[in-house]
């Protein structure tokens, strides 16, 4: 498994480099074909390469992962593949190339993978712009979805993920000379300051909804009243109901300054993975762990999104975080605990046995 992981990690695959993604897809395809005996279907959407294996009808379990990473080409020069102290290091090893290795080794351990569909996307780190509909369509075909993303701290499974919604709030003001007659203008930056405070008040705390103003722009010159200003807004919600509340509140913002105008532009959104979607699968995973005589897996609710948000949003029961145990995703020192890889694989095998009736 470590050697398979080395092959994947040393083929760099930044999401935005479509040529690199295509090369990585070749390496993933070789791994999957060698371990399952079946060639994948290559699906190119917007130039991005995704891979799909369908065994039989493939309508019982969707195994979901991605082979793209956030690391740019050349990252191996500063963060090379290495194994030390039982840990494997390298760009993308934890998020989520080790999960792909575990996925295919789990399939190789089954008497038959009939009933399973495997989908490995190439743009998860970008928010699945080309694979979104593909993932949701595959999820609707299947009775359940297992996501081989890296685990939460301590190896815990991810039984809930906040939904993600991105917005841009644009303010329209009126320009004027800042020294001669600023009162003739409508200061878009001042209006934006009022709106940023209103946006921040929509959050409910770290464990609930977070509404975070991020990138701000405004003005054209230091001696001119700004006629335009804008802010990007990152929204994370634990439930569909909270998304509706925040969406209505953002769209309902009103100007504080006379003569100012507001425009709201909604960006990409991921629905939440709510606890009810994962509850039965999580209970089954803990049963498998008990039968394997390993410690309880544990659960976590996390703020980051994954393709599992999309499968849950499609109405398919989904369990996430079944992949590697490790840490430092997207950061120097990203690593995987090698001794846990076969253990986590055995949990997936046990789940598949039960879900497939094998």
Say if CB 82 and CB 90 are below 8 A apart: yes
Which position among 68, 123, 307, 334 bears the catalytic label?
A: 68
Residue 309 is classified by DSSP as: H
DSSP 68-124: -BSPPTTHHHHS--EEETTEEESTTIIIIIHHHHHHHHHHHTSS--TTEEEEEES-G
DSSP 53-84: EE-TT--SEEEEEE--BSPPTTHHHHS--EEE
Active site residue 68: yes
Angle ∠(352,336,346) on CA atoms, nearest 5: 20
Nearest C-alpha neighbor of 117 from the set 239, 32, 219 = 32
Say if CB 272 and CB 238 are below 8 A apart: yes
Nearest C-alpha neighbor of 52 from the set 61, 63, 40 = 40
Active site residue 124: yes
Burial (Cβ within 10 Å: 0-12, 13-18, ≥19) of residue 112: exposed
Residue 231 is classified by DSSP as: E
Which position among 4, 12, 95, 124 bears the catalytic label?
A: 124
DSSP 123-162: -GGGT-TTTHHHHHHHHHHSSEEEE-PPP-GGG-EEEEE-
Residues annotated catalytic, as ranges: 68, 124
């Amino acid at each position: 498994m470590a050697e398979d992981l080395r092959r994947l990690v040393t083929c760099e695959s930044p999401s935005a480099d479509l040529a690199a993604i295509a090369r990585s897809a070749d390496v993933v395809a070789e791994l999957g074909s060698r371990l399952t005996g079946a060639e994948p279907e290559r699906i190119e959407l917007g130039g991005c390469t995704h891979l799909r294996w369908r065994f039989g009808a493939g309508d019982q379990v969707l195994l979901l992962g991605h082979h793209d990473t956030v690391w740019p080409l050349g990252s191996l020069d500063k963060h090379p593949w290495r194994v030390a102290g039982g840990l494997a290091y390298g760009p993308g090893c934890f998020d989520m190339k080790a999960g792909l290795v575990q996925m295919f080794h789990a399939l190789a351990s089954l008497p038959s993978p009939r009933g399973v569909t495997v989908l490995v996307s190439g743009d998860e780190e970008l928010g699945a712009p080309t694979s979104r509909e593909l993932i949701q369509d595959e999820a609707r075909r299947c009775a359940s979805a297992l996501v081989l993303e890296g685990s939460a701290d301590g190896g815990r499974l991810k039984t809930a993920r906040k939904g993600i919604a991105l917005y841009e709030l644009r303010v329209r003001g009126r320009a004027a000379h800042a020294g001669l007659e600023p009162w003739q203008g409508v200061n878009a930056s001042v209006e934006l300051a009022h709106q940023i405070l209103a946006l921040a008040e929509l959050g409910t705390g770290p464990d609930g909804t977070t509404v975070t103003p991020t990138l701000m722009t405004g003005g054209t010159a230091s001696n001119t009243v700004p006629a335009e200003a804008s802010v990007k807004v990152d929204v994370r919600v634990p439930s569909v109901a909270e998304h509706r509340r925040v969406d209505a509140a953002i769209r309902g913002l009103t100007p504080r300054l006379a003569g100012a105008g507001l425009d709201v532009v909604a960006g990409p959104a991921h629905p939440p993975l709510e606890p009810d979607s994962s509850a039965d699968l999580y209970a089954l995973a803990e049963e498998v762990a008990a039968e394997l005589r390993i410690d309880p897996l544990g659960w976590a609710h996390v703020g980051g999104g994954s393709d599992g948000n999309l499968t849950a949003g499609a109405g398919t029961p989904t369990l996430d975080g079944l992949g590697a145990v490790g840490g430092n995703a997207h950061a120097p020192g990203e690593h995987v605990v090698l001794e846990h890889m076969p253990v986590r694989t055995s949990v997936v095998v046990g789940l598949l046995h039960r879900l497939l009736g094998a």
